[in-house]
Structure 1
Amino acid sequence: MTAEQQQAVPPAASSEPEQRAPEQKKSSSSGKILAIIAIIIAILLTAILYWHGHNQALAQAEQMSQLQAEVAQQQQRLQQAEAKQSSQLAAVINNQSSTTEQLEGLSHKVLDLDSKRPNDWMLAEAEYLVRMAGRKLWLEQDAVSAAMMLANADERLAALNDPGLTPVRRALADDIASIKSVQKVDREGLVIKLNSINDQVDKLTLAGVIMARAEEPDFTLSESVSDWKENLKKSWASFSDNFVTVRRRDGNVEALLSPQQHWYLSENLKGKLLQAQLAVYREQQEIYDSSLAQARQWLQDYFADDSVRQFMLEQIEQLSGQQIKVDYPEQFSAQERLQQLLDDRLQRLLTGL
């Protein structure tokens, strides 16, 4: 190797480090870029998280402020309601106190009036008895109780010993006489008898078919020889009668009722008797008479003549002549007089307050 070649070798060896230097520079620069990017990303994430947390804090603060405002409004409303109730309660207490004072004043006046005119209460009691007597008479048709109540009212007026009540007592006497002159009707007794008749309906027996008497043939033979033909017919008829018998019956025969028709007939008969009972309480004379007449007709037409039917017909015959309608007085003459007397005295008392 020549000297020139030897001298040329070192420069060739020194070129490799020169080539590695740029590569190291490039790798170091890329690492720095990545680090910067990571730092930037971290900063951005931190900023985003801070911004999100800040917004949530602001929202929570706003919600808290709204809740505080609502609570304040509710407290204000409650205070207003309490104040309103307190004012109303105070007004009610004031009204009650004033009402109590008025009642006490009225009670004192009533006590004063009671001590001054005690007889007015007995007069009011007599008027009440007269009104109750009217209800007993017109609503319950109880003339006995009505007369007793009018008599008790007259006793109250007699105890007052007031000559001014003589016209009222005279009217009461007339009312008592008009009630006692009314015809008495034993409604309970009539209804009980009708009910006993109704209980016998199921024991009735339907009338059977009544057949006309059949004609019996005459098989007697004649002793005359000339009647041999007639005797032969009779002998043949007597012989054939042991096998087939034909009898002729004349007259109208009614068919038997079916079980269903029998049930309807019995129920209709019970209905007529119940209708008569209701007519007794309502004082419906025409309905009462027509119901009993229809029941009597059905008994005679459809049921057998036995002891049950005979008993029912006898009872219906006794009840048919009963008078159930009563003419009561339309009003009591003493009631209007008593009411007018009480009104006049009450008006005088109120005028004197």
Structure 2
Amino acid sequence: MSDNDNKDALPAEVDKSPAAPRRRGAGLLASLALIVALAAAGGAGWLYYQLIYLSDQQNAAVVAEMQAALNTATSRNDATDAALNRQRERLAELDSLIDQQQTISQRQLQQLSAQVQELSAVDRNDWLLAEAEYLLRLANQRLQLSGDSRAAARLLSSADAILRELDDPALHPVRSELAKELSALQSLSDIDIEGLYLQLEGLAGEVDKLEAYGAPEYSPAPVADADSTWQSGLATGFQRAWEKLRSYIRIRQHDDKFRAELAPEQADALRASLRMMLEQAQLALLAERPTVYQRALDKAANWLQRYFPLNDRREALATQLEKLGQADIRGERPDISGSLRALKEYSKAQRWQREVGQ
């Protein structure tokens, strides 16, 4: 048995010797695999930790951003709500204004409709009566303000023609008053105010052509020669003195004594003063103030006689001034308001009859 055991044992040792390196290699591989597995497990754990940590940070950032966006959206929503509230208030005010305007427009439309109905009820006779009343009123104003009797008579005649066209017997009192007033205007003296004014203006233009008194002129005598005797010199001196004395004396044919209130060389001032007197007469003529008018003409005539020499031009101006002074620039104006009052009474009676008939 021992021999057999040895035989059996010997092959086993022979088999063990080549397999030993393979077992050692497998152990190394297993160790390496274990190390790799542990490393992979550690890496996986680290990655998992990083993923979990980073995910928490990102979630916090996202949550913060979302919270900020939510706050912004909330503030914007509040602002939008406030703006909408203001818009609603404005719309309410506009609605109120529109309602008020509609109410006012409806009221005005009703008033216009009433006026149109009133106008439609007015016939052609009413328009003619209104025109005649306007003409009578204008005639009274023209006579009282400007004293133009001819224009007032034309206006009264136009009003009478309108009343004659109406052919209403009730207008007889009005036409009777018109006839009386026309007769009173025609009996007035026809004063041409415009013509008198133009005549005065023409006289003012002629003033510049008048000749005023000039200053005395003196021409010295020639000086005697040295060879002349003392007797001739004395005679020459007496002659020069006499000539100078004669130059200061002028004899003129005037009814009144000439009194120079201004210097003779001031001819322009004399003419300007005379023109001012004529302009004063023009203003008094337009204002219908006969006293001032006559006083200005009398003063101009005296000024003309006193400071301007007697000649044909001065006499012509004096004659025209005298003729203008004889004009009565303001006559007594008749009362022509009776026809206007009668027409108003007629119109009032017509309206009353129309109201009663309705």
- What's the offset of the Cα at 1:100? 2.3
- What's the offset of the Cα at 1:153? 1.4
The aligned runs of 1:73-222 (5 Å cut-off) are 73-111=82-120, 113-114=121-122, 118-208=124-214
| Matching of residue 240 in structure 1 with residue 234 in structure 2 | yes
- Tell me which amino acid in the other structure corresponds to 1:137: L
Aligned partners of 1:102, 1:324: CA distance in 2, in Å? 52
Task: Indicate the SS of the match to 2:236.
Answer: coil
**1:312 matched residue in structure 2:** 317
Aligned partners of 2:157, 2:260: CA distance in 1, in Å? 64
Mark the CA change 1:95 to 1:305 in structure 2 (over 3 Å): closer, same or farther.
same
Aligned partners of 2:309, 2:111: CA distance in 1, in Å? 82
**1:217 matched residue in structure 2:** none
Aligned partners of 2:147, 2:88: CA distance in 1, in Å? 67
Query: Identity over the aligned pairs, expressed in percent?
Result: 30
For the 8 Å contact 1:279–1:288, the answer to whether it is kept is yes
- What's the offset of the Cα at 1:94? 3.9
For the 8 Å contact 1:136–1:142, the answer to whether it is kept is yes
Mark the CA change 1:71 to 1:196 in structure 2 (over 3 Å): closer, same or farther.
farther
| Matching of residue 324 in structure 1 with residue 329 in structure 2 | yes
For the 8 Å contact 1:208–1:256, the answer to whether it is kept is no
For the 8 Å contact 1:204–1:303, the answer to whether it is kept is yes
- Equivalent in 333, 336, 339 of residue 341 of structure 2: 336
- What's the offset of the Cα at 1:206? 1.6
Q: Per-residue CA shift, 1:17-72, capped at 9, x if unaligned?
A: xxxxxxxxxxxxxxxxxxxxxxxxxxxxxxxxxxxxx9xx99xx79x94x875664
Mark the CA change 1:153 to 1:207 in structure 2 (over 3 Å): closer, same or farther.
same
- Tell me which amino acid in the other structure corresponds to 1:197: L
Aligned partners of 1:208, 1:261: CA distance in 2, in Å? 9
Aligned partners of 2:159, 2:236: CA distance in 1, in Å? 93
Aligned partners of 2:266, 2:104: CA distance in 1, in Å? 77
For the 8 Å contact 2:160–2:178, the answer to whether it is kept is yes
Deviates more, 1:70-79 or 1:267-276: 70-79
- Paired residues in the alignment total 270
Task: Indicate the SS of the match to 1:200.
Answer: helix
- Equivalent in 274, 280, 292 of residue 269 of structure 1: 274
Task: Indicate the SS of the match to 2:332.
Answer: coil
Task: Indicate the SS of the match to 1:242.
Answer: helix
- What's the offset of the Cα at 1:352? 5.3
Mark the CA change 1:257 to 1:75 in structure 2 (over 3 Å): closer, same or farther.
same
For the 8 Å contact 2:200–2:278, the answer to whether it is kept is yes
Mark the CA change 1:69 to 1:294 in structure 2 (over 3 Å): closer, same or farther.
farther
Aligned partners of 1:104, 1:254: CA distance in 2, in Å? 82
Aligned partners of 1:256, 1:122: CA distance in 2, in Å? 66
Task: Indicate the SS of the match to 1:185.
Answer: coil
Larger Rg: 2
Aligned partners of 2:96, 2:340: CA distance in 1, in Å? 52
Aligned partners of 2:115, 2:205: CA distance in 1, in Å? 64
Task: Indicate the SS of the match to 2:122.
Answer: helix
Aligned partners of 1:158, 1:312: CA distance in 2, in Å? 51
Deviates more, 1:100-109 or 1:135-144: 100-109
TM-score by length of 2: 0.64
Mark the CA change 1:303 to 1:169 in structure 2 (over 3 Å): closer, same or farther.
same
- Equivalent in 285, 296, 306 of residue 280 of structure 1: 285
- What's the offset of the Cα at 1:263? 3.3
Task: Indicate the SS of the match to 1:88.
Answer: helix
Structure 1, unmatched stretches of 5+, are: 1-53, 212-235
- Tell me which amino acid in the other structure corresponds to 2:92: A
Mark the CA change 1:159 to 1:85 in structure 2 (over 3 Å): closer, same or farther.
same
Task: Indicate the SS of the match to 2:211.
Answer: coil
Q: Per-residue CA shift, 1:251-302, capped at 9, x if unaligned?
A: 7997794488443332221111001111111111111111111111111111
Mark the CA change 1:203 to 1:88 in structure 2 (over 3 Å): closer, same or farther.
same
Structure 2, unmatched stretches of 5+, are: 1-63, 218-229, 251-257
Deviates more, 1:92-101 or 1:279-288: 92-101
